[in-house]
Chain A
Amino acid sequence: MYIELRDINKSFGDFQASRSVSFGIARGTLAALLGPSGSGKTTILRMIAGLETPDSGDIFINARRVNDLAPSVRGIGFVFQNYALFRYMTVFDNIAFGLRVKKEKAAAIRARVEELLELIGLEDFGKRHPAQLSGGQKQRVAFARALAPNPGLLLLDEPFAAIDAKVRRELRVWLRDMIRRLGITSIFVTHDQDEAIEVADEIIVTNKGRVEQLGAPPDLYREPATPFVADFIGESAPVENIAAFRGFEANVQGTPGAVRPEFLKVFAVGDVIQYPNSVEDAVVDDVAFRGAWLELGLVLRGIRLTARYSLEKQPPRIGDFVKVLVYRLYAFEDGKVSLRRNAELNASRHGYSYSI
């Protein structure tokens, strides 16, 4: 593990922002800290950087305990949420700052800054001031400034938050490729799961100061460890009582859970209905075009679900009744998540398989 946190606690006054946070990230990994606003992501990042001191617990970077090390000797590059570029310095001076502080030779500094300017594609912008740059350009300058002293670890706090949606997508692909190319261990904070899934090798999901789960995006998606993760990742619809669905009557009444769009099959008019005992009627209350598919909002006995619907088929209209099969769902019991299958599908294992 290149970076490791062990049982970190941190309070601000009587508010506990980190609760026994532990995780480790291998060298060269690009990890995302993903969680809702206020879940303690920035706090974790700032403690790693040394801008905040944990109340208890240990932080290791490259097998060395860094709790008592000054921020500047931890070998960290930090990209702040709003970039925090030095407003009164040119782009060149911004990037050179960390090298000048280290008293490197002027020629070496110039070479390094020019190399980085080329890397971020802003060769001709060295003389500009931050106010004369677009959001995306500022972000790249902040990235270059953090990289200039060759840090072992790069921390980025919501690097795309202040950038509009279109540039954002481009920029995150750019940043991911750049980080992969440089092979630098990186942690970035985000509350956008698409961003985390698209960019990160590993995702650390935080909630209320705790780490809920750590894993590769597909693993988190397929096997959420806690109800929070099951709800938070994917477009899960929360369900108060899973035993209310046909085919799930055997579950304990009142067990909560969640249903993902992929767990549903919506039959088009004329489709062969496969499991007649488990099929239910639902009302369409929303139809949205999502590019490659239609997203349907369904109300099934008062429960609101989201389903995907192929563009190939005749689309239903709002108010139409459709036949729906719930063939799987998540059940939440004792803070754990388990995947349950529809009883009728379980009974007849032959026949059809519904893989996601």
Chain B
Amino acid sequence: MSGKGKNAPRGASLWVPRLFIGISALFAAVMLILPLAVVLTEAFSSGLQVFLRAVSDIYARKALFLTLEATAASVFLNTVFGLAAAWVVTRYSFAGKGVLTTLIDIPFAVSPVIAGMIFILTFGRLSWLHPVLEEHGIRIVFATPGIILATVFVTIPFVAREVIPVLEARGTDEEQAAVLMGAGFFTIFRRVTFPHIRWALLYSVILCAARAMGEFGAVSVVSGHLRGKTNTLPLHVEILYSEYQFTAAFAVSSLLVAGAVIILTARNIVEFAARKEDSLNVH
């Protein structure tokens, strides 16, 4: 990418880039900055006291905790799965490889609501699994495991999609050299492969966390909206909003906004560090 327009054809008039910059800026202002500003002003519109009460409310705290729980679970599980899948897809050829790569993308293609429905159908009352689960006292739908499953499902592609191209581009020769010298799988992964993918992995984990935190559709379906039990932050916001507690809704929303800002900052730091290392070390 040319970045600063250094590849722009010489002599091309300046109004074209200016026009595009203007359009982008206007769009960003109306679609992104304005809503965020509204969220924050609304959140504090009735004063700090009301804000603090809204975010320290027991249900808000439980929702925050559940959201963090689901996010952590999806980051962890998808990191493990994503790395394994990326490794297998780029290092081995086997029957069904194409199918696996396609499967990884399904959560991107399927609407989150449908993803939620899938879990209801698989584990809910209508499923043949239901009696078995019931017998063992396991609740999935309308309980925390369902929330976690739904969140994990919608974030499956993030890690694998980000890591596969890097592994593919790096080739296998360094790993083969290590194999010849007698290194075991974990040594090779830790000392040879991982340094290549660490930035891509971190980047994808950040995106995965952002998506998991904000997930609404799939979680909404499997949650059942039990206050203090199966409400995540986004669901909690929706409930507050539908109960006309606008200030509280915006206050809780601002928590999500804060989370997003932290994540984006982290992402930018990662991108910057990765680029710096790339230019210093590796061609």
A residues lining the B interface (CB < 8 Å) = 49-51, 71-73, 76-78, 80, 82, 84-89, 97-98, 101-102, 129, 131, 145, 149
Interface residues of B, dominant DSSP: helix
* A101→B183 contact, CB < 8 A: yes
Query: Which residue from B176, B281, B282 sits with its C-beta under 8 Å from A80?
Result: B176
Q: Quick one: given A51-B176, A80-B173, A82-B173, are A88 and B181 in contact (CB under 8 Å)?
A: no
CB proximity to A under 8 Å, residues B185-222: 187, 191-192, 195-196
- Using a CB–CB cutoff of 8 Å, the interface residues on chain B facing chain A are 173-174, 176-184, 187, 191-192, 195-196, 281-283
The one of B173, B179, B191 in contact with A72, judged by C-beta atoms closer than 8 angstroms, is: B179
Nearest-Cβ distance from residue B147 to partner chain A, whole angstroms: 39
29 contacts between A and B (CB under 8 A): A76-B180, A78-B177, A80-B177, A82-B173, A84-B174, A84-B177, A85-B174, A86-B177, A86-B178, A87-B195, A87-B196, A87-B281, A88-B282, A89-B191, A97-B178, A97-B181, A98-B181, A101-B178, A101-B181, A101-B182, A101-B183, A101-B184, A101-B187, A129-B282, A131-B281, A131-B282, A131-B283, A149-B181, A149-B182
Distance in angstroms from A250 CB to nearest chain B CB is: 56
**Interchain residue pairs A-B with the least CB separation, the first 10:** A72-B182, A88-B195, A98-B181, A84-B173, A84-B177, A101-B183, A101-B182, A78-B180, A71-B180, A87-B282
Given contacts A51-B176, A80-B173, A80-B177, contact A73 B282 (CB under 8 A): no
Cα–Cα distance between A51 and B180 once the two chains are bound (Å) = 8
A-B pairs with CB below 8 Å: how many?
64
Q: Which residues does chain B contribute within 8 Å of A85, judged by CB atoms?
A: 174, 177
CB nearest to B279 among chain A residues: A131
Q: Select from chain A the residue with minimum beta-carbon distance to B178.
A: A97
Residues on B with beta carbons closer than 8 Å to the beta carbon of A73: 182
Cβ-defined contact, A84 with B176, below 8 A:
yes
Nearest A residue to B182, CB-CB: A72
B180:A72 contact, CB within 8 angstroms: yes
A49 near B180: Cβ-Cβ < 8 Å: yes
B174: chain A residues at CB < 8 Å are 84-87
Chain A residue at minimum C-beta to C-beta distance from B172: A84
Please report the C-alpha to C-alpha distance between residue A72 and residue B175 in the assembled complex, in whole angstroms. Answer: 13
In the complex, what residue of chain A is closest to B198 when comparing beta carbons?
A: A88
Given A87-B281, A88-B195: A71 and B173 interface contact (C-beta under 8 Å): no
